[in-house]
Homo-oligomer: A and B are copies of this chain.
Amino acid sequence: MKTVYQKSAGLTGVPMHYCPGCTHGIIHKLVAEALVELDVLGRAVAVAPVGCAVFAYEYFNCDAQQAAHGRAPAVATGIKRVRPDNIVFTYQGDGDLASIGMAEIVHAAMGGENITVVFVNNAIYGMTGGQMAPTTLVGQPTTTSPLGRSRLGQGAPLRVCEMLATIEATAYIARVSVHSIPRLNVAKRALKKALQLQVENKGFSLVEVLSTCPTNWGLSPVDALRWVEQNMIPAYPLGVFKDIEGGT
A positions within 8 Å CB-CB of B: 99-103, 106-107, 109-112, 134, 151-159, 162-163, 166-169
| Contact among B106, B158, B159, B166 for A102, CB-based, below 8 A | B106
| Contact among B100, B106, B163, B169 for A151, CB-based, below 8 A | B169
Q: Determine the chain B residues whose CB is within 8 A of the CB of A112 once the complex forms.
A: 151-153, 155-156
The answer on a CB contact under 8 Å between A100 and B103 is yes
- Most chain B beta carbons < 10 A, residue from A151, A154, A163, A167: A163
With the chains together, A157 CA to B163 CA distance in Å? Answer: 15
Name which residue of chain B comes closest to A109, CB basis: B155
Give A232 Cβ to nearest chain B Cβ, in Å: 16
With the chains together, A101 CA to B103 CA distance in Å? Answer: 7
With the chains together, A107 CA to B102 CA distance in Å? Answer: 9
With the chains together, A152 CA to B155 CA distance in Å? Answer: 35
With the chains together, A31 CA to B168 CA distance in Å? Answer: 31
- Most chain B beta carbons < 10 A, residue from A100, A106, A112, A159: A106
Give A236 Cβ to nearest chain B Cβ, in Å: 12
The answer on a CB contact under 8 Å between A155 and B169 is yes
With the chains together, A106 CA to B158 CA distance in Å? Answer: 9
The answer on a CB contact under 8 Å between B107 and A134 is yes
The answer on a CB contact under 8 Å between B168 and A156 is yes
Q: Determine the chain B residues whose CB is within 8 A of the CB of A134 once the complex forms.
A: 107, 110
| Contact among B99, B156, B157, B166 for A159, CB-based, below 8 A | B166
